[in-house]
Amino acid sequence: MDAPAQFTHLNSLGEAHMVDVTSKTPTVRQASARATLTCLPETIAAIKDSKMPKGDVLAVARIAGISATKQVPQLLPLAHTIGIHGVNVEIELHEDSVLISSTVRTADRTGVEMEALTAVTVSALAFVDMVKGVDRTVAIESAYITAKSGGRSGDWVRPQ
């Protein structure tokens, strides 16, 4: 039988703690994530025609995602404070859906998967906030990590 799994975020007493990464060497790391929303086709048309009552939905959602990326240690209790050296948030409008993608880069001691996921989820929340007054059907359908590179565990890409 295999040995019991050792949980990295539990100390010898079984208590949650932050992993000490002090001795790890900083390396270049990158992670990407994606979120999908659904909404009415009329909402997409109004966004494209700059006719949303609250203003530029895409700019607000993009900036919200970028800003949120830098707040991960305040949101997730065991996340490390790391340098965020690059954040890209892209928003694609489709007939009745929205695809938000992010890529986050660092040269630090731990990965940026949670930062990339936070970027797309907060972007999605900001999108909902900007359109909910005219489209009560708007919904966040999914959010997930699509790829990561760097660090001890190497590269990973979500299978299609």
- Annotated catalytic sites, by residue? 129
Report how many helices (DSSP H) and strands (DSSP E) the chain contains, helices first.
Answer: 4, 5
Instruction: For CA atoms 113, 31, 119, 91, give the dihedral sign.
Output: negative
Report the candidate in 133, 55, 68, 120 with the shortest Cα–Cα distance to residue 92.
Answer: 120
**Which tokens is 145 given?**
């990590």
Say how far apart CA 66 and CA 86 lie, in whole Å.
9
